[in-house]
Amino acid sequence: MGPLIDGYRRFRAETWPQQRARFEELAAQGQKPHTLVIACSDSRVDPQMIFAAGPGELFVVRNVANLVPPYMPDAAFHGTSAAVEFAVRVLGAGRIVVMGHALCGGIRALIEGTPAEARDFVAGWIGIAERARTAALRCDDPEAAQLAAEQEAIRISLANLATFPWVAEAVAEGRLRLRGAHFGVATGRLLVLDSATGEFAPA
């Protein structure tokens, strides 16, 4: 806990005095985030830092390879789907951003095979993006294959979001927009998916 407590103390000494009024406002009035960000759990990819967002601006769900499963309301556990439901139907977020990233280990496992130590849950989970392997297999260069699969997985998650009836309804009524993005860990650059062309371009 040592490094965490040290970080907390820095937060209390430096950040809290600057943000105190904002936290008190959020405590009194509740949260009203404008965007749901579905990002990878990768420790190098922090949506709040990347988008320079303050407290209360983003509702963030993170999972392996930033995936969204298809709409499937059953008795199983659906953490990501629950976050989507809460953000859209309860909080009224006006935007969902699926943000993938370079060097994604989950996507690498999809391409190369899941490590033996991660087959209880990871193997089944990344199967959501199985179609992205096809994009990777069309590339001769391993780096290009990784990027192609990462970007295709974002498209798959966006398509899966559209299977949620209340997401589709909100999009059709103009209350919600779906966007895709890809962050370069080594470059710090963000690519945004152009909905018209289906291709990624610099933000």
**pLDDT at 45 (0 to 100):** 98
**Which backbone phi and psi does 59 adopt, to 5 degrees?**
-105, 115
81 vs 26, 47, 107, 174, CA distance in Å? 25, 19, 20, 21
pLDDT tens track for 74-87: 989 999 999 999 99
99's CB contacts (< 8 A; 6+ apart) are 37, 38, 39, 40, 45, 47, 50, 66, 154, 180, 181, 182, 183
CATH no. of 31-202: 3.40.1050.10
The domain locations on the chain are: 1-30, 31-202
- Give the burial class of 30: count Cβ atoms within 10 A of its Cβ; 0-12 exposed, 13-18 middle, 19 or more buried: exposed
Whether 155 shows a pLDDT value over 90: the answer reads yes
Whether 51 shows a pLDDT value over 90: the answer reads yes
- Give the burial class of 136: count Cβ atoms within 10 A of its Cβ; 0-12 exposed, 13-18 middle, 19 or more buried: buried
For the chain, give the mean pLDDT: 96
The stretch 150-155 carries a mean pLDDT of 98
8-state DSSP, 65: G
**pLDDT at 75 (0 to 100):** 87
- State the residue for tokens 């080594």: 186
Whether 156 shows a pLDDT value over 90: the answer reads yes
The bridge status of strand 177-183 relative to strand 95-101 is parallel
The stretch 140-152 carries a mean pLDDT of 95
The stretch 79-106 carries a mean pLDDT of 98
Cβ proximity of 187 and 101 under 8 Å? no
- State the residue for tokens 């299977």: 163
What's the predicted TM-score (pTM) here? 0.95
**pLDDT at 158 (0 to 100):** 98
d(CA 9, CA 6) in angstroms, rounded, equals 5
Q: 62 has which bridge partners?
A: 39
d(CA 180, CA 172) in angstroms, rounded, equals 18
How would residue 143 be classed by pLDDT, with cut points 50, 70 and 90? very high
**pLDDT at 203 (0 to 100):** 94
pLDDT tens track for 165-179: 999 999 999 999 999
**pLDDT at 137 (0 to 100):** 87
Cβ proximity of 153 and 101 under 8 Å? no
